Amino acid sequence: MKKILSAFLCLCMIVSLCSCAAQESAGGAQTPAASAPAETSAPDQTPLDDPSPEAFGASLGDRVIIRTVKTQDSFNAPDGSVILLFSYVTPTVLIEERQQAAAMINEQINLMDEAYISGAGNEPGKNQILEEALDNFSYVKEKDADLNTVFTAARTVESTRADGSAISFLYWTSIYTGGPSGSHGYMAVNFSSETGEKLTLDSLSDDPSMLKQALIENLLAVARDDKAFYAGLSEYKEDPDASLAAVVREGSWYFSSDGIVFFPAFGELKPDGEGLPTFTIPYSSLAGVLDPRYLPVKRGDNGTFDVVRLGDVTDGTVHSIDKLIVSDGDELYLKIDGTAYDVTISSFFYVHQAEGDERFHAKDRLWYASYMDDCALQIRTIVPNGMPNLMITYTDADYAAHRLFISQSGVDDGVALVDDTIEAVG
């Protein structure tokens, strides 16, 4: 892992022991991953842009629900000063019709958590960082040095694709242990949602060598398309094409809504501090060589969302698939008549100076379902008088993205869903 300035890391991570959301019925709270530093490229999760018919292949499959629990610990020096903030995010996968597959996925996720905590993986582990933090604190006090005494370690994760065929997670680890900068790195892991087994590149095709060749050729084409990037790479690496081909490897790829995404290690294709390039190979470029089950789903129906108070619903008339507790407050049903896909509930922040889609940015992803069809999600949350605090995003049968917000209706203490116009949310 490479070094970057730690100011962003420290601002993001100085928090107290808490859990930001809770869920009932099937598990705990979900607090999604923090965003990566600005100079790195975030995973591309925009819907497919007019996917060509031959790019489809997967079936809708079983519904996948993902919840996430964030664990945060703080550790103090003998005088009570905080010297270490240690956190990690654990996703929990629910597949009602494939519980054994979900259990296998969750077991592997838990093992990765244990490795991060103990230091059995690529990171130093909680105990070693705490020991270093104590030594640093003692040195600062003894020498009266003007140095930071708070060390931080955080690992976050987000799902970049989750459906009846595959589930991809992108992990981001940031560690600060003194000095002018911190260290960080990405790691990706992919699972079959049908079997629960970890997916490898070789498992994605009946002809692994042909798939690898196609991936390398397409990655080279994507890189060369960015003339400025390729020119810089040619100066940085003696053989730029060989360096790019080496990125097609395990641990450095994940499924997104657009295709298979590859990413290098920091400093591998660019000097330190110049960001992290990512390369998306469109599904349409892999039709015929990628196993069709991993191509996008050919969707059919659309649906319409509504939100109602729990007390206004007659018992037995709503099929609830899960319950999300954001905070004490109103008991609601988010209902769908028809079908919606990639349904995500998030907290968000609003940028007044921006325009269009740039005004709304997801902050904490609280809940995800690969699809909802003629069902409901029970939500407990405060519905504020002014700006809404929850954002609902989903895609339709044409992979177009939509955004809604839970708001007060202004009539008889009612609730309503509003769109993303300023008049509706401001």
Q: What is the pLDDT of residues 303-315, one digit of tens each?
A: 999 999 998 988 8
Domain membership flag for residue 192? yes
Domain that holds residue 74: 1-35+59-199
Q: Is residue 49, in this structure, part of any structural domain at all?
A: no
Q: Which residue has better confidence, 422 or 39?
A: 422
> Do 164 and 65 have their domain in common?
yes
Tens of pLDDT along 126-162? Answer: 999 999 999 999 999 999 988 899 999 999 999 999 9
Which of the listed residues 199, 217, 245 is the one where a domain comes to its end? Answer: 199
Do residues 386 and 249 both lie within one domain? no
Residue 297: pLDDT band (50, 70, 90) is confident
- The verdict on 26 and 153 lying in the same domain is yes
Closest CA to 92 of 152, 21, 36: 21
Instruction: Examine the pLDDT at 426 and tell me if it is beyond 70.
Output: no
pLDDT > 90 fraction of the chain, expressed in percent and rounded: 64
Q: 128 with 83, same domain?
A: yes
Assigned token pair, 11: 């601002």
Q: Residue 141 corresponds to which tokens in the numbers above?
A: 């006090």
In the structure, what pLDDT confidence band is assigned to residue 425 with cuts at 50, 70 and 90?
very low
In a domain, 213, yes or no: yes
Q: Looking at the structure, tell me whether residues 18 and 164 fall in a common domain.
A: yes
N- to C-terminal Cα separation, the chain = 42
* Alpha carbons within 13 A on the beta-carbon side of 260: 32
DSSP string covering 165-227, please? SEEEEEEEEEEE-SSSEEEEEEEEEEEETTT-PBP-GGGG-SSHHHHHHHHHHHHHHHHHHSH
pLDDT at position 192, please?
97
- Measure the CA–CA gap between 326 and 30, rounded to whole angstroms: 9
H or E element in which residue 132 lies: helix 126-143
Domain count, the chain: 3
Residue 54 lies in a domain: no
Note whether 187 and 316 are same-domain residues.
Answer: no
Residue 317 lies in a domain: yes
Report the DSSP pairing between strands 303-309 and 330-350.
Answer: antiparallel
Residue 42 lies in a domain: no
Q: What is the pTM of this model?
A: 0.81
d(CA 70, CA 94): 17
**pLDDT one-digit tens code per residue, 90-103:** 999 999 899 999 99
Q: Is residue 413 very low, low, confident or very high in pLDDT (cuts 50, 70, 90)?
A: confident
